[in-house]
Amino acid sequence: MTLPSAEFLLIAGRAVFLVFSFVVASISFTAWRRATRRQTAEVLSQTQLVLQRLAALAARVDATRAAVAQLAERPDRPAAPVPAAAPSPGYQIAIRLARGGASRDELMSGCGLTLAEAELVRRLHGPRAAELRQVS
């Protein structure tokens, strides 16, 4: 048995390396193609979704244009003034109490007002700070 020469071993090593490199390259290329196809399909589905939403928005814009056109066709008529509502009896009592110097808590318990309403009634109808100093 003779040992193969070093030159033959180097050539055989190169051949094995080339075959191995070719296999790795083909596996990588196949994986790259699959990933590209998957990404392309994902982009296409997202594009379809965007197109559907765009079509829905276009339909809304068309409906809005039609509504605006109908409003523009209406004859100009003055808006009827809204009659001012008379304050409820609870507020009348609260105003009288506030003018008499009632506290916020008294307004809340006696007239059924919320904290903000009682504070507003006191500020609007209660005695002024100068009047409070004169009374004291």
Euclidean distance between CA atoms 93 and 99, whole angstroms: 10
Residue 113's contacts (CB-CB under 8 Å, 6 or more residues apart) are 90, 91, 94, 107, 121
Q: Taking 50 as the threshold, does the pLDDT of residue 133 lie above it?
A: no
Domain boundaries, the chain: 1-72, 89-135
3-state DSSP percent of the chain in helix, strand and coil, to 5: 75, 0, 25
Q: What is the mean pLDDT of residues 104-110?
A: 86
Choice between 51 and 127, residue whose per-residue pLDDT is larger: 51
What is the CB-side half-sphere exposure of residue 62 using CA atoms within 13 A? 6
Instruction: Report which of 129, 101, 84 is spatially closest to residue 121, judged by C-alpha positions.
Output: 101
Euclidean distance between CA atoms 29 and 37, whole angstroms: 12
Q: Taking 90 as the threshold, does the pLDDT of residue 83 lie above it?
A: no
Q: What is the mean pLDDT of residues 9-18?
A: 96
Euclidean distance between CA atoms 115 and 111, whole angstroms: 11
Hey, is 17 helix, strand or coil? helix
Q: Taking 90 as the threshold, does the pLDDT of residue 94 lie above it?
A: no
> Of the spans 41-45, 70-74, 79-83, which averages the highest pLDDT?
41-45
pLDDT one-digit tens code per residue, 23-37: 999 999 999 999 999
